[in-house]
Amino acid sequence: MTEVSVLMPKLYWEDFQLGAVAVYGPRLVTREEIVAFAAEFDPQPMHLDEAAASATMLGGLAASGWHICCLLMRMLTDGFVLNSSSMGAPGVEEVRWLKPLRPGTRIRVRSTVLETRASKSRPDMGLVKMLHEMLDEADTVLATLTSTAMMGRKPGARP
Amino acid sequence: MTEVSVLMPKLYWEDFQLGAVAVYGPRLVTREEIVAFAAEFDPQPMHLDEAAASATMLGGLAASGWHICCLLMRMLTDGFVLNSSSMGAPGVEEVRWLKPLRPGTRIRVRSTVLETRASKSRPDMGLVKMLHEMLDEADTVLATLTSTAMMGRKPGARP
Protein backbone atom coordinates (compact mmCIF):
# COMPACT_ATOMS: atom_id res chain seq x y z
CA MET A 1 0.00 0.00 0.00
CA THR A 2 1.26 3.43 -0.87
CA GLU A 3 0.84 6.14 1.71
CA VAL A 4 -0.63 9.27 0.22
CA SER A 5 -1.10 12.61 1.89
CA VAL A 6 -4.76 13.50 1.99
CA LEU A 7 -5.44 17.22 1.85
CA MET A 8 -8.71 18.69 3.00
CA PRO A 9 -10.53 19.75 -0.19
CA LYS A 10 -10.64 23.50 -0.73
CA LEU A 11 -13.89 25.08 0.43
CA TYR A 12 -16.10 26.94 -2.01
CA TRP A 13 -19.36 28.82 -1.52
CA GLU A 14 -21.30 25.61 -2.27
CA ASP A 15 -19.63 23.90 0.70
CA PHE A 16 -21.14 26.26 3.31
CA GLN A 17 -24.46 24.69 4.27
CA LEU A 18 -27.14 26.62 6.15
CA GLY A 19 -26.96 25.73 9.84
CA ALA A 20 -23.57 24.01 9.63
CA VAL A 21 -21.44 24.44 12.76
CA ALA A 22 -17.65 24.19 13.09
CA VAL A 23 -15.38 24.74 16.09
CA TYR A 24 -11.82 26.07 15.86
CA GLY A 25 -9.01 26.24 18.42
CA PRO A 26 -8.24 25.92 21.27
CA ARG A 27 -5.78 28.72 21.90
CA LEU A 28 -4.40 29.78 25.27
CA VAL A 29 -4.49 33.56 25.79
CA THR A 30 -1.62 34.85 27.94
CA ARG A 31 -1.32 37.97 30.09
CA GLU A 32 1.70 38.97 28.02
CA GLU A 33 -0.20 39.07 24.74
CA ILE A 34 -3.16 40.89 26.30
CA VAL A 35 -0.87 43.64 27.59
CA ALA A 36 1.23 43.79 24.40
CA PHE A 37 -1.87 44.17 22.20
CA ALA A 38 -3.31 46.87 24.47
CA ALA A 39 -0.03 48.79 24.56
CA GLU A 40 -0.07 48.94 20.76
CA PHE A 41 -3.76 49.46 19.93
CA ASP A 42 -5.91 50.15 23.00
CA PRO A 43 -3.80 51.49 25.87
CA GLN A 44 -6.58 51.84 28.41
CA PRO A 45 -5.59 50.99 32.02
CA MET A 46 -8.15 48.15 32.23
CA HIS A 47 -6.23 46.26 29.53
CA LEU A 48 -2.73 47.06 30.85
CA ASP A 49 -2.66 46.90 34.62
CA GLU A 50 -4.33 44.64 37.20
CA ALA A 51 -4.71 47.30 39.91
CA ALA A 52 -6.24 49.86 37.55
CA ALA A 53 -8.45 47.21 35.96
CA SER A 54 -9.92 46.05 39.27
CA ALA A 55 -11.56 49.47 39.69
CA THR A 56 -13.35 49.28 36.31
CA MET A 57 -16.48 47.52 35.06
CA LEU A 58 -14.23 44.66 33.92
CA GLY A 59 -13.32 43.94 37.55
CA GLY A 60 -9.78 42.90 36.66
CA LEU A 61 -7.33 42.74 33.77
CA ALA A 62 -9.03 41.66 30.55
CA ALA A 63 -8.28 41.78 26.84
CA SER A 64 -9.29 44.70 24.65
CA GLY A 65 -12.45 43.97 22.70
CA TRP A 66 -10.44 44.54 19.55
CA HIS A 67 -7.96 41.93 20.67
CA ILE A 68 -10.87 39.51 20.99
CA CYS A 69 -11.82 40.26 17.38
CA CYS A 70 -8.24 39.79 16.19
CA LEU A 71 -7.78 36.49 18.02
CA LEU A 72 -11.06 35.31 16.56
CA MET A 73 -9.94 36.33 13.06
CA ARG A 74 -6.65 34.45 13.46
CA MET A 75 -8.47 31.30 14.55
CA LEU A 76 -10.86 31.57 11.59
CA THR A 77 -7.97 32.20 9.20
CA ASP A 78 -6.16 29.07 10.37
CA GLY A 79 -9.44 27.17 10.75
CA PHE A 80 -10.86 27.58 7.26
CA VAL A 81 -10.23 30.89 5.51
CA LEU A 82 -6.80 29.98 4.13
CA ASN A 83 -8.27 26.71 2.83
CA SER A 84 -11.19 28.43 1.14
CA SER A 85 -11.96 30.56 -1.88
CA SER A 86 -12.61 33.53 0.42
CA MET A 87 -12.52 36.88 -1.34
CA GLY A 88 -12.75 38.92 1.84
CA ALA A 89 -15.62 40.67 3.54
CA PRO A 90 -17.24 44.09 3.05
CA GLY A 91 -17.41 44.63 6.81
CA VAL A 92 -18.88 43.34 10.02
CA GLU A 93 -22.60 43.36 10.85
CA GLU A 94 -22.18 43.34 14.62
CA VAL A 95 -19.75 42.65 17.43
CA ARG A 96 -20.88 42.04 20.99
CA TRP A 97 -18.45 41.83 23.90
CA LEU A 98 -20.39 39.87 26.51
CA LYS A 99 -17.85 38.75 29.13
CA PRO A 100 -14.26 39.74 29.92
CA LEU A 101 -11.51 37.65 28.32
CA ARG A 102 -9.04 36.98 31.17
CA PRO A 103 -5.39 35.96 31.00
CA GLY A 104 -5.00 32.17 31.02
CA THR A 105 -8.30 31.45 29.26
CA ARG A 106 -8.29 28.66 26.67
CA ILE A 107 -10.54 29.96 23.91
CA ARG A 108 -12.31 28.30 20.98
CA VAL A 109 -14.47 29.74 18.22
CA ARG A 110 -17.80 28.24 17.18
CA SER A 111 -18.94 29.29 13.71
CA THR A 112 -22.48 28.81 12.44
CA VAL A 113 -23.68 29.44 8.88
CA LEU A 114 -26.69 31.79 9.19
CA GLU A 115 -27.40 32.43 5.54
CA THR A 116 -26.01 31.71 2.09
CA ARG A 117 -26.97 33.43 -1.12
CA ALA A 118 -25.59 33.75 -4.63
CA SER A 119 -24.29 37.14 -5.69
CA LYS A 120 -26.62 38.98 -8.06
CA SER A 121 -23.80 40.89 -9.74
CA ARG A 122 -21.01 38.29 -9.82
CA PRO A 123 -21.68 34.74 -11.03
CA ASP A 124 -18.28 33.62 -9.69
CA MET A 125 -19.15 34.66 -6.14
CA GLY A 126 -21.53 33.77 -3.32
CA LEU A 127 -22.14 35.26 0.11
CA VAL A 128 -21.99 33.40 3.41
CA LYS A 129 -23.30 35.09 6.55
CA MET A 130 -21.83 33.56 9.69
CA LEU A 131 -22.11 33.91 13.44
CA HIS A 132 -18.77 33.46 15.20
CA GLU A 133 -18.85 32.92 18.97
CA MET A 134 -15.77 33.01 21.18
CA LEU A 135 -16.06 30.38 23.92
CA ASP A 136 -14.08 29.73 27.08
CA GLU A 137 -13.32 26.29 28.60
CA ALA A 138 -16.84 26.12 30.11
CA ASP A 139 -18.46 27.01 26.76
CA THR A 140 -19.43 30.43 28.07
CA VAL A 141 -19.86 32.80 25.14
CA LEU A 142 -17.43 35.68 25.68
CA ALA A 143 -18.13 37.53 22.44
CA THR A 144 -20.08 37.20 19.21
CA LEU A 145 -19.29 38.50 15.76
CA THR A 146 -21.63 38.42 12.77
CA SER A 147 -20.14 38.93 9.34
CA THR A 148 -20.77 38.11 5.69
CA ALA A 149 -17.92 36.65 3.67
CA MET A 150 -17.58 36.74 -0.11
CA MET A 151 -16.73 33.22 -1.35
CA GLY A 152 -15.69 32.01 -4.75
CA ARG A 153 -18.03 29.48 -6.38
CA LYS A 154 -16.94 26.01 -7.31
CA PRO A 155 -15.48 25.84 -10.82
CA GLY A 156 -17.98 23.99 -12.99
CA ALA A 157 -20.82 24.62 -10.55
CA ARG A 158 -21.37 28.22 -11.58
CA PRO A 159 -24.70 29.14 -13.19
CA MET B 1 2.78 86.65 34.63
CA THR B 2 3.04 83.09 35.77
CA GLU B 3 2.97 80.39 33.14
CA VAL B 4 0.54 77.63 34.01
CA SER B 5 0.00 74.40 32.19
CA VAL B 6 -3.54 74.20 30.94
CA LEU B 7 -4.94 70.70 30.77
CA MET B 8 -7.88 69.86 28.56
CA PRO B 9 -10.79 69.28 30.95
CA LYS B 10 -11.79 65.64 31.29
CA LEU B 11 -14.72 64.71 29.05
CA TYR B 12 -17.94 63.41 30.57
CA TRP B 13 -21.15 62.23 28.94
CA GLU B 14 -22.54 65.78 29.12
CA ASP B 15 -19.66 67.02 26.93
CA PHE B 16 -20.68 64.93 23.90
CA GLN B 17 -23.11 67.09 21.94
CA LEU B 18 -25.32 65.68 19.21
CA GLY B 19 -23.75 66.37 15.82
CA ALA B 20 -20.34 67.37 17.22
CA VAL B 21 -17.42 66.42 14.96
CA ALA B 22 -13.78 65.90 15.92
CA VAL B 23 -10.80 64.80 13.82
CA TYR B 24 -7.87 62.80 15.18
CA GLY B 25 -4.46 61.99 13.71
CA PRO B 26 -2.74 62.03 11.28
CA ARG B 27 -0.82 58.78 11.40
CA LEU B 28 1.35 57.35 8.64
CA VAL B 29 0.69 53.65 7.99
CA THR B 30 3.77 51.73 6.88
CA ARG B 31 4.14 48.55 4.86
CA GLU B 32 6.04 47.03 7.78
CA GLU B 33 3.19 47.43 10.23
CA ILE B 34 0.60 46.18 7.70
CA VAL B 35 2.59 42.98 7.16
CA ALA B 36 3.43 42.54 10.87
CA PHE B 37 -0.22 42.85 11.88
CA ALA B 38 -1.34 40.43 9.17
CA ALA B 39 1.32 37.88 10.12
CA GLU B 40 -0.01 37.89 13.67
CA PHE B 41 -3.79 38.13 13.21
CA ASP B 42 -4.88 37.79 9.58
CA PRO B 43 -2.24 35.95 7.53
CA GLN B 44 -4.02 36.06 4.18
CA PRO B 45 -1.75 36.59 1.15
CA MET B 46 -3.47 39.88 0.20
CA HIS B 47 -2.21 41.43 3.45
CA LEU B 48 1.28 39.91 3.34
CA ASP B 49 2.64 39.92 -0.18
CA GLU B 50 2.42 42.38 -3.10
CA ALA B 51 2.42 39.77 -5.86
CA ALA B 52 -0.28 37.64 -4.24
CA ALA B 53 -2.31 40.74 -3.38
CA SER B 54 -2.34 42.05 -6.95
CA ALA B 55 -4.41 39.02 -8.01
CA THR B 56 -7.13 39.67 -5.40
CA MET B 57 -10.07 42.07 -5.22
CA LEU B 58 -7.81 44.46 -3.27
CA GLY B 59 -5.63 44.86 -6.39
CA GLY B 60 -2.44 45.19 -4.33
CA LEU B 61 -1.12 44.96 -0.79
CA ALA B 62 -3.55 46.46 1.72
CA ALA B 63 -4.10 46.32 5.45
CA SER B 64 -6.35 43.74 7.08
CA GLY B 65 -9.77 45.17 7.89
CA TRP B 66 -9.07 44.31 11.52
CA HIS B 67 -5.87 46.33 11.37
CA ILE B 68 -7.98 49.27 10.18
CA CYS B 69 -10.21 48.85 13.25
CA CYS B 70 -7.22 48.62 15.57
CA LEU B 71 -5.51 51.71 14.12
CA LEU B 72 -8.79 53.57 14.45
CA MET B 73 -9.12 52.47 18.08
CA ARG B 74 -5.60 53.63 18.87
CA MET B 75 -6.27 57.05 17.34
CA LEU B 76 -9.51 57.37 19.32
CA THR B 77 -7.78 56.24 22.51
CA ASP B 78 -5.09 58.91 22.12
CA GLY B 79 -7.59 61.42 20.75
CA PHE B 80 -10.15 61.43 23.54
CA VAL B 81 -10.82 58.11 25.28
CA LEU B 82 -7.93 58.37 27.77
CA ASN B 83 -9.05 61.91 28.62
CA SER B 84 -12.65 60.87 29.18
CA SER B 85 -14.80 59.04 31.70
CA SER B 86 -15.24 56.19 29.20
CA MET B 87 -16.40 52.95 30.77
CA GLY B 88 -15.96 50.89 27.62
CA ALA B 89 -18.40 49.69 25.01
CA PRO B 90 -20.73 46.69 24.80
CA GLY B 91 -19.75 46.07 21.21
CA VAL B 92 -19.78 47.52 17.72
CA GLU B 93 -22.93 48.21 15.71
CA GLU B 94 -21.29 48.02 12.30
CA VAL B 95 -17.96 48.11 10.48
CA ARG B 96 -17.70 48.81 6.76
CA TRP B 97 -14.46 48.42 4.85
CA LEU B 98 -14.99 50.65 1.81
CA LYS B 99 -11.55 51.14 0.21
CA PRO B 100 -8.18 49.42 0.63
CA LEU B 101 -5.76 50.97 3.14
CA ARG B 102 -2.42 51.03 1.29
CA PRO B 103 1.11 51.31 2.70
CA GLY B 104 2.23 54.94 2.94
CA THR B 105 -1.24 56.38 3.55
CA ARG B 106 -1.54 59.18 6.09
CA ILE B 107 -4.79 58.46 7.88
CA ARG B 108 -7.06 60.53 10.11
CA VAL B 109 -10.26 59.66 11.95
CA ARG B 110 -13.37 61.84 11.87
CA SER B 111 -15.79 61.15 14.73
CA THR B 112 -19.38 62.37 14.77
CA VAL B 113 -21.79 62.12 17.69
CA LEU B 114 -24.92 60.42 16.32
CA GLU B 115 -26.94 60.06 19.50
CA THR B 116 -26.66 60.61 23.23
CA ARG B 117 -28.95 59.24 25.89
CA ALA B 118 -28.92 58.78 29.63
CA SER B 119 -28.77 55.23 30.96
CA LYS B 120 -32.08 54.00 32.35
CA SER B 121 -30.43 51.62 34.81
CA ARG B 122 -27.36 53.59 35.91
CA PRO B 123 -27.65 57.26 36.94
CA ASP B 124 -23.84 57.61 36.85
CA MET B 125 -23.67 56.63 33.18
CA GLY B 126 -24.74 57.87 29.77
CA LEU B 127 -24.46 56.42 26.28
CA VAL B 128 -22.84 58.09 23.27
CA LYS B 129 -23.35 56.59 19.81
CA MET B 130 -20.65 57.68 17.41
CA LEU B 131 -19.73 57.26 13.77
CA HIS B 132 -15.97 56.99 13.23
CA GLU B 133 -14.68 57.40 9.67
CA MET B 134 -11.13 56.62 8.61
CA LEU B 135 -9.96 59.15 6.02
CA ASP B 136 -6.94 59.27 3.72
CA GLU B 137 -5.05 62.44 2.66
CA ALA B 138 -7.77 63.26 0.07
CA ASP B 139 -10.55 62.86 2.66
CA THR B 140 -11.71 59.63 0.99
CA VAL B 141 -13.54 57.51 3.53
CA LEU B 142 -11.69 54.18 3.72
CA ALA B 143 -13.79 52.62 6.48
CA THR B 144 -16.60 53.44 8.89
CA LEU B 145 -17.28 52.14 12.36
CA THR B 146 -20.41 52.79 14.39
CA SER B 147 -20.29 52.10 18.11
CA THR B 148 -21.91 53.16 21.36
CA ALA B 149 -19.66 54.09 24.27
CA MET B 150 -20.63 54.07 27.94
CA MET B 151 -19.56 57.38 29.50
CA GLY B 152 -19.48 58.47 33.10
CA ARG B 153 -21.68 61.47 33.93
CA LYS B 154 -20.29 64.71 35.31
CA PRO B 155 -20.09 64.70 39.10
CA GLY B 156 -22.76 67.08 40.38
CA ALA B 157 -24.69 66.94 37.09
CA ARG B 158 -26.29 63.59 37.76
CA PRO B 159 -30.05 63.44 38.12
Question: What does A25-47 look like in DSSP terms, one character per residue?
Answer: EEEEPPHHHHHHHHHHH---GGG
- Find the domain containing A91 and state its range: 13-30+62-152
- What's the CATH number where B106 sits? 3.10.129.10
Residue B3, pLDDT > 90, answer: no
User: Could you tell me which residues come within 8 angstroms of residue B102 by beta carbon, excluding any fewer than 6 positions away?
Assistant: B60, B61, B62, B63
Is A6 within the bounds of a domain? no
The ipTM is: 0.93
Is B3 within the bounds of a domain? no
Is A22 within the bounds of a domain? yes
Closest chain A CA to residue B89? A97
Please compute the mean of the pLDDT values over residues A32-60 and round it to a whole number: 94
- Contact at CB, B97 and A90, closer than 8 angstroms: yes
Give how far B85 is from chain A: nearest CA, Å: 11
Report residue A16 CA to chain centroid gap. Answer: 16
pLDDT given at position B139: 98
DSSP state of A64: -
pLDDT above 90 covers a percentage of chain B that reads: 88
Is A113 within the bounds of a domain? yes
Is A54 within the bounds of a domain? no
pLDDT given at position B6: 58
Kindly indicate the confidence band of residue B4, based on its pLDDT and cuts at 50, 70 and 90: low
Interfacial A residues in 127-156 facing B (CB < 8 Å): 150
Residues of B in contact with A95 (CB under 8 A): 91-92, 95
Please compute the mean of the pLDDT values over residues B24-48 and round it to a whole number: 97
B42 lies within 8 A of chain A by CB: yes
Is A41 within the bounds of a domain? no
Residue A5, pLDDT > 60, answer: no
Nearest CB to A92 within list B87, B90, B94: B94
Q: Which residues pair with A26 in a beta bridge?
A: none
pLDDT given at position A155: 87
Number of domains observed in the structure of chain B? 1
Residue A45, pLDDT > 60, answer: yes
Is A135 within the bounds of a domain? yes
Residue A2, pLDDT > 60, answer: no
pLDDT given at position B7: 63
Single-letter residue type at B5: S
- What is the per-residue pLDDT across B91-136, written as a single tens digit (0 to 9) for each? 999 999 999 999 999 999 999 999 999 999 999 999 999 999 999 9
Give the predicted TM-score (pTM) of the model.
0.94
Is A47 within the bounds of a domain? no
